[in-house]
Amino acid sequence: MPAPSRDKLDEALATIKRLSSVTKAAIVLNMPRTTLSEWVQTAKAMGIYEKPETNELQAINDNLRRELDIAREALQNATKPRYTIRQDIAGESDELLVIAMGDAHDDPTIPDKSRFYQAGRYVRDLKPDVFVSIGDFLNMNSLCFHIPNENYSGKAKPTFLTDIASGREAFAALNDGMGSCKPEKHKKKGNHEHRIDRIEDQAPESYGMYTSLYDEMMVNAGFTYSPYGSTSFYGGVGFTHIALSIMGKPVGGKDVLNAMGRDSVYDTVTGHTHSPGKKITRKIGGRHITSVDTGCFLPYGHIEDFAQHTYGGWDWGLTELRIKNRQIVGYKWISLLELQERYGHG
């Protein structure tokens, strides 16, 4: 390429100095960056080149900032969980009837969804104010972090789409059982469903992809839902899959209900342990805390592999609760065996 005229060279050098970047100057001058770089070398040889105050790293940094802005805009427009965390629906003197379903762990390997229909029929008969799935309604083994994909057992994991298809069938059976009964239907996310949030966090390019399908399933089922670790209040009683400690770990130990009663300042309903029960913890001053565990809602007698032969205390069924004056005033455990006897297999 022929050498530039002195006027053009001076114009190019002035543009580079003003923009503090050869890259930006090339864009403004509408010329190839390589050509402008050759002009810079010519100016250096002539002793008329003044180095810009900033270097090419600034241009690179600016480009990265632009890319980051684009990424942020895409992230803003991506599908996000439509969590529902709102004010309590009941006043202090109101009485609520709540049916709570413990960990159901729906899974494609359990094609029989009749237990969900039976639960729906029970809801139809009792006509509660609220139906709550306490969490882990879905197993989500497709996103299991504990089983590496390259392991023998890992190769048997279902796809995410298969997990969602199975979940849709389970919700459809539940709603079919409820019929025209329309309680408020809410679902807490359990640690198994929290795998969706974890996978999207670890693979940012998938952000919104898994959530959009999960959200679509929940909307079609007529359920609102809230994140893992959060607490929803009905009549002043807190519902959560499992309470989290100050370190963000699930409250554990030999007797979780003891820990809940000791540390909680309100009555609680939890899941996670698959062991149903009610515990009253008396406080100094005449007050007490009632802690309820909802057990699980797997097929009767079904034990999940992750239990690793440590499943003592598991039981299968639903929990019926009456709430008044911000306390649990009535508790009833309904075995899945009773539901099967009453409603058959749908």
Asked if residue 141 is part of any domain, the answer here is yes
From 20, 49, 77, give the residue that closes a domain: 77
Q: Are residues 114 and 151 in the same domain?
A: yes
Lowest pLDDT segment from 99-108, 141-150, 160-169 = 141-150
Give me the pLDDT at residue 195, please. Answer: 93
Asked if residue 198 is part of any domain, the answer here is yes
CATH number, domain of 17, equals 1.10.10
Quick one: DSSP state of residue 241?
Answer: S
Q: Are residues 52 and 124 in the same domain?
A: no
Token pair for 163: 């997990």
Closest CA to 239 of 261, 262, 269: 269
257: left (phi over 0), alpha (psi -120 to 50) or beta: alpha
Q: Are residues 110 and 25 in the same domain?
A: no
The whole-model pTM stands at: 0.75
97-135 pLDDT tens trace: 999 999 999 999 999 999 999 999 999 999 999 999 999
Host domain of residue 128: 96-343
Stronger pLDDT, 16 or 93, i.e. the higher one: 16
Asked if residue 150 is part of any domain, the answer here is yes
Asked if residue 82 is part of any domain, the answer here is no
Q: Are residues 171 and 301 in the same domain?
A: yes
Q: Are residues 17 and 117 in the same domain?
A: no
Give me the pLDDT at residue 17, please. Answer: 81
Average pLDDT over residues 89-97: 80
146: helix, strand or coil:
coil
From 44, 77, 110, give the residue that closes a domain: 77
- CA 174 to chain CA centroid, Å, is 22
From 77, 107, 129, give the residue that closes a domain: 77
CATH number, domain of 297, equals 3.60.21
Average pLDDT over residues 197-210: 88
The owner of tokens 């969804």 is 113
Give me the pLDDT at residue 235, please. Answer: 93
Asked if residue 90 is part of any domain, the answer here is no
Average pLDDT over residues 291-311: 83
Q: Are residues 103 and 210 in the same domain?
A: yes
Beta pairing partners, 239: 232, 269
Q: Are residues 148 and 69 in the same domain?
A: no
Q: Are residues 112 and 241 in the same domain?
A: yes
Asked if residue 85 is part of any domain, the answer here is no
Q: Are residues 218 and 305 in the same domain?
A: yes
pLDDT at 320 over 70: yes
Reported as a pLDDT band with limits 50, 70 and 90, residue 9 is confident
Asked if residue 84 is part of any domain, the answer here is no
Closest CA to 102 of 82, 84, 116, 88: 116
> Can you list the positions of beta strands (E) in 51-103?
96-101
Give me the pLDDT at residue 257, please. Answer: 92
Q: Are residues 109 and 143 in the same domain?
A: yes
Q: Are residues 120 and 238 in the same domain?
A: yes
Asked if residue 86 is part of any domain, the answer here is no
250-293 pLDDT tens trace: 888 778 899 999 999 999 999 999 999 999 999 988 899 999 99
Q: Are residues 62 and 180 in the same domain?
A: no
Number of domains in the chain: 2
